[in-house]
Chains A and B, each alone.
Chain A
Amino acid sequence: MDLETKTPPASQSQTHAQAPVSAGPIKETTAPPSARDDGFTSERHVYRPHRVGLPPILPYVRGVWRRRQFTFELSRTKLRSSHFDTVFGQLWLVINPLLLAAVYFILVEILRQRSGGAPFFAHLMAGLFVFYFFASSVNQGAKSVVGGGRLILNTAFPRTLLPLSSVVTAFMRFLPTLAIYAVMHVIAGLPVGLHLLWAIPIFAMIAIFASGVAMLFAAAQVYFRDLSSFLPYVTRIWLYASPILYYAEEVPDRFRPILALNPLYPLLASWSDVLNQGRQPSVGLMLWGLAWALVAFVAGGLFFISREREFAVRL
């Protein structure tokens, strides 16, 4: 008897189950526009309450995929507005991180009182550039939902496209910096070989991790608008806690726990191993990094999707 009284009232998932759902294998939306005209039941939507619940994931993902062009178009317009398509706009994207790397290099050289030389500069550049890809994904991603106000108020579409588009934008900005890194890589006389291909899966994992964190902060930003003002400090501290201004091996034992807690540590250490040390990344680090990337992506994504129906009311 006690058990019965404890059962919660019909949960939302139960109402879902009662929804008249049939497993129609026909996806009408792929039909050409003319085919829509013959029947009005070609697309049927049922809206029912699940404010803090998850919509069915599979159709959601399909909706995201169907609108992928929107993600790219949005990031393209954003880039165009920052003069990405002009010569000086591109040049600035290269000069800015290069100067930043130079400043950090001089700073670290002075503090360490011994020269790391060109290979260390290459390590710093590689780490810094990829970290800035991560940081700008997260910073822009956090603003994407709040900044996308009108579109959200007026159009029904999967909102995850907004933070994901920020990651695409950050990636487009990251690409030109790869070119200067390549130059530095050769100047520093670092090994060139097939092992460099490992950088691709490592970068992919960093991108997946960045997407997850971007979605998490984008949703949180709706509820706490002051988040964006202290986000730069978070990324700054994160930068210092990552093996970028130093090699991972140099970290004294008493600071090891901090490094171990940093989700970017395994990824950035592998990144430097491949690009700088010219060796294959350790399997342990790669798996560790992959685990973080997947956890962040799934957690951030689910949090975002479960909240996104509320955004239209909260903006």
Chain B
Amino acid sequence: MPSVSDDPRAEAVAVPGLGDDASIKVESLSVTYRTSYDKAPTLKNIIVRKGRGERTVREIEALREVSFEVPHGAVLGLVGANGAGKSTLVRTVAGILPPTEGRVEVHGRVSTLLALGVGFNRSLTGRQNVVLGGLAAGLTRDELAGKYDEIAAFAELGEFMDLPMRTYSSGMYGRLAFSVAVHMDPDILLIDEALSVGDARFKRKSFEKMRELCAEARTIVLVTHALGSVRDLCNQAIWLHKGQLAMCDEPGKVVEAYTRFLDVGESEEVLEDV
């Protein structure tokens, strides 16, 4: 199979000047997890369960038949209750989780800021983590050296960059994660409930940075429970409900429908940027 891409997971081909305008294209995507019942799957547990005639794995349908498209330069807001499949969708777009059915097409370099914190290792210093993460994402050492100062400056960590990350406060952790994600020169930025970190000032700074990225026609996917930021930042929104696409429309309409569904009304708590 002749294909030329840096990402081995993707059967990807560099297609110069593809006429298609979509930056992310999801076609009838279904994702089914197979997780084991045990906390840690061990040979012993599997044998014991097989002996009792129990099933060793459980299937969870995280996403069912989801289809949508995101054009270049759009900011997509993803809303939905806990367990609706938002994080699964973001991970699938990032190429971390394989789709069970359907197809995901992504045009451009993807940078992720996921709920679990960009894969930082807490016993390593901030600097080592930035380097490791960047290299894993496929950057070269030279590219990283150029970006490192920007990342450190934006995160405002100062001397903490050379301390192990277990000494960081959760705000500092989040600031570094955000800084790494936005400085990876992404065409597509996936943010999963990560704007809650940092104080009000950093939050404003991160909003500005995201607007800046939008202005450069980068695509952003934003998963959040803060419906206010969906309205402010996004120009398209998706409401996922139990793994299915409940609504895909303008952010205002989606937020309205979603809040009506939640039956909480547009109270301060929901709109407030959490």
Binding site for B on A (CB under 8 A): 16, 19-29, 33, 36-37, 39-51, 55-56, 58-64, 66-67, 69-70, 73-74, 77, 81, 150-158, 161, 222-227, 309-310, 312-314
Contacts and interface: CB of A to CB of B under 8 A. Distances in A.
B137 interface: yes
B91 interface: yes
A225 B39 CA distance: 10
Interface string B1-27: 111111111111111111010010000
Given A49-B99, A153-B116, A154-B119, A66 B14 contact: no
B170 interface: no
A11 to B, nearest CB: 14
A40 B119 contact: no
12 contacts: A16-B11, A21-B2, A42-B108, A43-B6, A43-B12, A43-B107, A47-B92, A56-B8, A59-B8, A63-B138, A224-B43, A226-B44
A257 to B, nearest CB: 28
Interface stretch (B120-128, B224-232, B263-271): B120-128
A309 B11 CA distance: 13
Contacts of B123: 81
A79 B98 CA distance: 33
A192 B187 CA distance: 58
Contacts of B42: 224-226
B4 A45 contact: no
A49 B256 CA distance: 35
B205 interface: no
Contacts of B106: 44-47
B13 to A, nearest CB: 6
Contacts of A222: 41
Contact of B43 (A24, A77, A227, A309): A227
B215 interface: no
Contact of A45 (B12, B100, B118, B135): B12
Contacts of B18: 41, 44
Contact of A44 (B72, B101, B107, B132): B107
B34 A47 contact: no
B97 interface: yes
B101 to A, nearest CB: 6
B103 A46 contact: yes
B47 to A, nearest CB: 10
A73 B135 contact: yes
A47 B10 contact: yes
Of all A-B residue pairs in the complex, the 4 with the closest CB atoms, nearest first, are A60-B8, A45-B10, A151-B119, A70-B135
B46 interface: yes
Contacts of A55: 8-11
Given A44-B15, A47-B95, A153 B119 contact: yes
Contacts of A33: 143, 185
B104 interface: yes
Nearest to B18: A41
Contact of B99 (A36, A47, A60, A73): A47
Nearest to B27: A48
Given A49-B101, A73-B131, A225-B40, A150 B15 contact: no
Given A151-B119, A156-B96, A56 B133 contact: no
Contact of B124 (A26, A64, A70, A77): A77
Contacts of B197: none
B202 interface: no
Contact of A22 (B13, B104, B217): B13
A214 B114 CA distance: 29
A58 B11 CA distance: 11
B91 A43 contact: no
Given A29-B6, A33-B185, A48-B103, A313 B14 contact: no
B96 A21 contact: no
A156 B90 CA distance: 12
Given A63-B8, A153-B119, A70 B132 contact: yes
B4 A151 contact: no
A279 B33 CA distance: 56
Contacts of A152: 96, 119
Nearest to B137: A155
Contacts of B12: 43-46, 59
A46 B43 CA distance: 35
Contacts of A63: 5-8, 138
B105 A45 contact: yes
B84 interface: no
Contact of B105 (A46, A151, A309): A46
A20 B12 CA distance: 9
